Structure formats: C-alpha cells, structure tokens
Structure 1
Amino acid sequence: SSSCGIWSADDAVSLCPSPSDGRHLSFCPSDCASLYHNGVRRSGVYAVVLSPDRRCHSLKHISPSGGGWTVVQRRRDGSVSFNRGWSEYRDGFGEPRGEHWLGNRQLHLLSSQGQYSLRIDLQDWSHTHRHAHYHSFRIDDEENQYRLHVSGFSGTVEDSFSWYHNQQSFSTPDTGNICAEISHSGWWFHQCFYSNLNGNLLGPDGIVWFSWKDSDFYSLKAVVMMIRPRSFRPHLSP
C-alpha cells in the first residue's frame, strides 16, 4: 500500500529521465497511483513527471485506505512554519518526511492530469482519528489564483471544507487578504473559514476544522491532505 508526498524538483532531477528525451518519459510515473500500479508498494522517495511541463519531482510513500495517494500537505509537530507568502505556497516548502506543503503549482499540475479525489486525515490531542473524503478535487492555475474546486463529501467527520470553501481563490498574508493576515497562513479563505489546515499548530489561529468541536479556537494536533485518481482501484492480495 502506498501514498506519497512531493519533495523538491532540484533534488529529483537525477532520478528522472531527461525531459527532452520523450522516448523514456513513460518510465517516470505521473503520481503515486501510477507508482502503485507499476508494482511499488513500499514507503520511500520516488521520482515522477508532472504534465504538462514534464518536470521531475521525488515522492515519499506512506499508506492509508488502499494506497496510491499523493500527499500534498502534512502537519504533525509544528517544526515547519506555515506563515508564508504567495511564492512559497506556490513553489512548496518543508520536507516530505515531515511537515510540508506540496506547492500550489505542483498541486495544480497534478490535479489537472485527470479526475482526482481528496482525502484529509485528522487527529486531535486525545488521539482520535477521523477523515474527510471528497469525490472531486482540483485547483486552477496561478492566473486564476489557484481557485479551489472540491465536492462530493463523505467521511467520519462533519464537512467543514467543501460547503464553505469551494470556488474560493487561494490567499496568503502578503496578498492583502485580511483572513490570511489574521490567520498567518495561506488557504482558500472565505470570510474567513470553517477549516484552515495551514494555521499555527497552537493558538486561536491553529489547525482548524470547525465541526470537530463546533469551534474555530480548537487546534487539531495533526493533519494529512492527499489526492489520488478517482478511478484508482487497489490490487487485492490473492
């Protein structure tokens, strides 16, 4: 079983075939689901090509719910500040083995390759684990402020994301958005939020999922956001 989180492009170039050599591009998978279907089941760091610009990125595997997930965000210990500007949220930051944000540019490229679903795993300070699943997920390009398209909720927690944040543009503290300034983070804000998974780890602007305690003053302990193709089916062991 497998899921992934993206590392930096510069560190992965040597792992991928040359982008100019189209004959070998098929050897560099496009996401973690394609890694899974090529027989990769172990956690680790792998290389992918993101269409349409065919840049290489390395990926880290972990595992929930059948595998094949590409991790796009992880929070767990407060070791990485998410109080960042537009360019850092665009390009990504952190380390995939720990806390990180994939990068909106890469997230747009990934989610535009086909039809993707989103899964969000949530954990509180009492070690309670819940998840939210969205049947459809993608974000627009930078010209359209990485606008969010998310729908089709199911899961073990009440939805605090799609019903309020769908169709919102991404904002960061340096874009003039008052919600981003107050929250010290980048997110798809909408006057301001019912979920903000990029807030500070502690405090009133923490990792918020409003329906968890019907409050935006309770910060969760950990969260992972990940995507995979809607058509993904895990291979069952004989």
Structure 2
Amino acid sequence: MFVHFVVFAILWMPVTLQLVTMRSFLATPSCNDRISNIEFVAEHQARSRRSCAAMCSINCGCFGFNLLVNKCRIHRSCDLVNMTSTEDGWKYYQINLPPDCQGVMESGESTSGLYVIDLFGGRVQLVTVYCDMETDNGGWTAIQRRLSGTMNFNKTWTEFKNGFGDPANAYWIGNDVIHHLTNRQPHFMYAIFKLHAPPGRTKHRKSSCNSLIKVFRLQYLFLTSGDSMINAGHTGGNVNGASFSTVDRDNDQWNSGNCAVKYKGGWWFNDCHDAFLNGPWPPEHWFEPWIPAITSVSDIAEVRMMIKPT
C-alpha cells in the first residue's frame, strides 16, 4: 500500500507570476563546428552559452553557441543529418525540459511561477503550468488554479479531458495530463485556499491517501479523520473510487440527476460532495467547497490543487 498526504491550507501570501523557460541543456558534440541547412528560428548576440540557453522559447529544441563570435542560434531541432556545412567555433546543446514541477525544482529553479514542462519526453507535448516552489518544500505542479472567478469551470467532458484556461489566471491542466502524471507512481496532493482576509486565521487539514487518478477515477484511501474529500459521516461525500463527472457525462452515484449539472462544474462526485473546488464564481453560487472548514466562499481569492510524486 502506498501512503502519502493530501494537505489542505488557507493562506494569504501573494505570488509573483512569471513565465520561466528552463536552462537545463546537454552538449551535442556530434554537431560541433557544423551549420544546419534548415533555417534556424532566431539568431542573437550572446556573451555565453547560458545566456544563449536563456533565449530558448517553447519552439527551441536546441541551440548553437559560437564563442569565437559571441553568436547564438536557436533551432527547433539539431539533427546531424541536416548539418551539411561547416564553420569553426559552433557548439550545440539540447534543451531538456522536465516532465513536472518537481523536475523543474531539481534542475535548480526555486521561484514560483509559470514553467514549460515536457510531459511525455521528446517535446511531443509541451505544457505550460504553474509551479509552487515555496509550499511544503516546493516542486508542486498545479493541476487546477482559480483566481477570483476569472474562468468558468462548468465545462464538457472533452474540455476537462484536454484542459482549458490560462495558468497565469485560471486553468484546469487536463484529465489526460493528470492521468499521465499520476498513473506512473503515487502522488501527494495539496489543496490551497487564499482568502480576502487579514492574516491570523490560518487553518490546516491533513489526511492520507494513495495514488490519485487512474482513467479519470479518483483512487483515494482514507486513513485519518477530518478530510472533506472523504467524509466518514456522509457517504455522498466519499470520493474514494469516484469517477469524474461533467455536465454532459454523468458518472456519479446520485439517483436523482447529474451532480455536475446541479452544482455547475466537473468533479469527482459521489452523491454529491463534501469537497468541490470547481464551483461557479461569483462565489455566492458555489456550494460548500470544503466541509467543514469552508462553507461560505464569499471571501475566497484563490483556489489551487497541486500534486507531486511521493
């Protein structure tokens, strides 16, 4: 049995957002002193290979740096078969993007913000995510983020499956992405509320669970008391084994209708919920996001769900 923690907290700390491109790279010596016959994405003057690496955007698969002329060239890819010409001084480096925010942290980044991750490797699917590098030792990948009702979470099955929104403001990373991240190994989950309130009223809630999501079904093992996602006194709030439901796909256990339709948002409903973080804003229409800790949501400023490997 895998055991790890789900953490609930209420915080008021502001977070500065910025999009950060990873600067982790590996040398590709087979391409050195060569020039690609495929047009490069961009060319810049650069003082070092690290400053050249910093110029890589989401379209940059590798870069070449020539110390002899302090020149940097950005490429989508560096394949030896395309390096048909020669020129002294060029050295090439493959950009490595981590698969999650824990990998971002392990690469040396320590600032919370927006990062690009390479979900499957080989740059098959690049995803921009919010990474929390301060909470509980950092390395948290935000699978959901909501700021002041800027995004409607009453979406279809396909929209939740593929993901939607803007990580800088409000987004759902996508059930396909969540499944891929969590299916390989158990994960911690951390749920955060930030409130429009003065400091001094902080609440924390911890419980234990096993791996998060397999084929859009929440696998959740209740081991401690006081957790809203699996309320021992209300079977309808127990999300252990609950399938994800949306307005157009009813997978809940409520016999009188579709919980996602009634509460206007996709979630792992049972019959129906004691924890529900995808309710509609303005908050007066959002019913009981986390019982018993939060029953009124009028002062909520941000909601965030984050995961990282155990």
- CA displacement at 1:99 relative to structure 2: 1.3
The residue number in structure 1 matching 2:182 is 111
Aligned-partner Cα distance in 2 for 1:112–1:86: 20
1:183-228, Cα deviation, whole Å (9 max, x unpaired): 0100000111011100113124346111115x5xx22613211001
Report the secondary structure of 1:150's partner residue.
Answer: coil
The residue aligned with 1:56 is 126
Distance 2:221 2:182 in 1: 14
1:45 aligns with 2:114: yes
Distance 1:115 1:140 in 2: 11
- 2:292 aligned partner: 211
- 1:159 matched residue in structure 2: 227
**Residue 171 of structure 1: CA displacement?**
0.2
The Cα of 1:153 is off from its aligned counterpart by: 6.2
- Within the candidate set 267, 280, 283, 1:187 is matched to 267
Structure 2 counterpart of 1:14: 59
Does residue 212 of structure 2 align to residue 138 of structure 1?
yes
One-letter amino acid of the structure 1 residue matched with residue 188 of structure 2: S
Specify the code of the residue in structure 1 equivalent to 2:297. S
Unaligned runs of 5+ in 2: 1-14, 20-56, 63-75, 80-92, 232-237, 252-257
Task: Note the alpha carbon deviations across 1:37-65, whole angstroms, 9 max, x for none.
Answer: 11111234332222389422123333311
User: Quick one: structure 1 residues 124 and 159, their matched pair in 2 at CA, closer, same or farther if it must change by over 3 Å?
Assistant: farther
- Cα offset, 1:132, TM superposition: 4.3
For 1:69-84, list aligned pairs within 5 A. Answer: 69-84=140-155
RMSD: 3.3
TM-score, normalised to structure 1's length? Answer: 0.75
Aligned residue pair count:
212
User: Deviation per CA, 1:119-168, whole angstroms, max 9, x where unpaired?
Assistant: 11124454544344545332122xxxx000123667xx931014511100
Change (3 A) 1:207 1:87: farther
TM-score, L = length of structure 2: 0.59
Query: What residue in structure 1 maps to residue 243 of structure 2?
Result: 169
Residues 25, 175 of structure 1: CA spacing in aligned structure 2 closer, same or farther, 3 A cutoff? farther
CA pair 46-75 structure 1, distance change in 2 beyond 3 A: closer
Where 2:179 maps in the other structure, the secondary structure is helix
Are residues 175 and 167 of structure 1, via their aligned partners in 2, closer, same or farther at CA, if it must alter by over 3 Å? same
SS at match of 1:151: coil
Determine which structure has more spread, i.e. the larger CA radius of gyration: 2
CA distance in 1, matches of 2:128, 2:172: 14
Note the residue ranges of structure 1 that are not aligned, 5 or more in a row: 7-11, 231-238
